[in-house]
């Protein structure tokens, strides 16, 4: 019976009769002496390097890995941006809570609807702004004896002054307008002025009625007379009269 084996030197295929197994012969391929064997040849395992494995990996898998890495980077950047915005908003909110000038009391105002107003003890703040080219509006905040925002029935008298310097360089305070308002508790409301809000009375537009201010800024003196005759006073010395 004919069988086959491989040359021990060149691995060339040899065919021989089974009865000659174990004999030594010269390999017809390479000429080297080899033993005829009936044992099956054991092939060496193929070792594939990491570089070859990476090279044999499908390109679509490599592309997917890169896309996943890029997606993670984008998510991290977005989270960092939101965190930065949160810090900026906190800093901005803290800045907007700074105290305004012309306050008789440095205690903070408590915004919100006053359900049971206590009698006012003083005018906490008076501020104003231009209302058109020939008028102004005033904002008046009352506080009670506990330094809380409050409201009351009464009468408010507003005196407007033009603060200017004459030709002799003398400072002048020229009175040019008086306005009186009868107000009720319900006239006090939550209102905004600039970056802050408070429970206050906001005047209607006070017109100049033809008067032309001689300076950009003037003064507003405010007197509030309660129903029991209590007289409260406040002043705003930075009232803008012209653009």
Q: Are 168 and 238 in contact (CB under 8 A)?
A: no
- Residue 6 to residue 39: CA distance in whole angstroms: 10
Alpha-carbon dihedral of residues 63, 64, 65, 66, nearest 10 degrees?
Answer: 50
Average pLDDT over residues 201-210: 94
Radius of gyration of the chain (CA): 48
Average pLDDT over residues 139-157: 95
Please give the C-alpha separations between residue 28 and each of 13, 23, 32, 38, in angstroms, as whole numbers. Answer: 9, 15, 8, 18
Q: For 71-121, how does the pLDDT look when each residue is reduced to its tens digit (9 = 90+)? A: 888 888 888 877 776 665 555 545 444 434 443 333 334 444 556 789 999
Distance of CA 15 to the CA centre of its chain: 86
- Residue 15 to residue 213: CA distance in whole angstroms: 125
102, two tokens: 């012309």
Query: In 3-state terms, what secondary structure has residue 96?
Result: helix
Q: Which residues contact 131 (CB under 8 A, 6 or more apart)?
A: 137, 205, 206
Q: What is the pLDDT of residue 208?
A: 93
Q: Which residues contact 41 (CB under 8 A, 6 or more apart)?
A: 5, 6, 11
Q: What is the pLDDT of residue 40?
A: 53
132, two tokens: 């058109």
Q: For 41-68, how does the pLDDT look when each residue is reduced to its tens digit (9 = 90+)? A: 444 444 455 455 555 555 665 666 778 8
Query: In 3-state terms, what secondary structure has residue 40?
Result: coil
Q: Are 214 and 241 in contact (CB under 8 A)?
A: no
Q: What is the pLDDT of residue 53?
A: 53
């Amino acid at each position: 019976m004919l069988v086959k084996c491989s040359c021990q030197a060149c691995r060339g295929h040899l065919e021989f009769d089974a009865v000659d197994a174990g004999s030594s012969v010269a390999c017809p391929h390479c000429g080297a002496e080899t033993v005829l064997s009936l044992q099956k040849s054991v092939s060496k395992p193929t070792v594939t390097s990491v570089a070859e494995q990476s090279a044999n990996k499908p390109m679509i898998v490599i592309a997917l890995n890169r896309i996943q890495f890029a997606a993670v980077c984008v998510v991290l950047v977005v989270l960092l941006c939101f965190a930065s915005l949160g810090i900026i908003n906190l800093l901005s909110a803290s800045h907007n809570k700074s105290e305004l000038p012309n306050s008789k009391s440095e205690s903070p105002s408590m915004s919100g609807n006053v359900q049971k107003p206590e009698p006012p003890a003083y005018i906490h703040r008076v501020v104003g702004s231009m209302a058109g080219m020939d008028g102004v509006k005033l904002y008046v905040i009352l506080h009670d004896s506990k330094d809380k925002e409050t409201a009351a029935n009464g009468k408010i008298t507003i005196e407007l002054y033009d603060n200017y310097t004459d030709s002799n360089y003398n400072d002048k305070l020229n009175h040019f307008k008086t306005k009186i308002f009868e107000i009720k508790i319900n006239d006090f409301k939550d209102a905004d002025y600039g970056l802050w809000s408070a429970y206050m009375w906001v005047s209607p537009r006070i017109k100049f009625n033809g008067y032309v201010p001689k300076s950009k800024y003037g003064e507003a003196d405010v007197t509030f007379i309660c129903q029991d005759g209590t007289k409260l006073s406040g002043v705003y010395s930075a009232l803008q009269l012209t653009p």
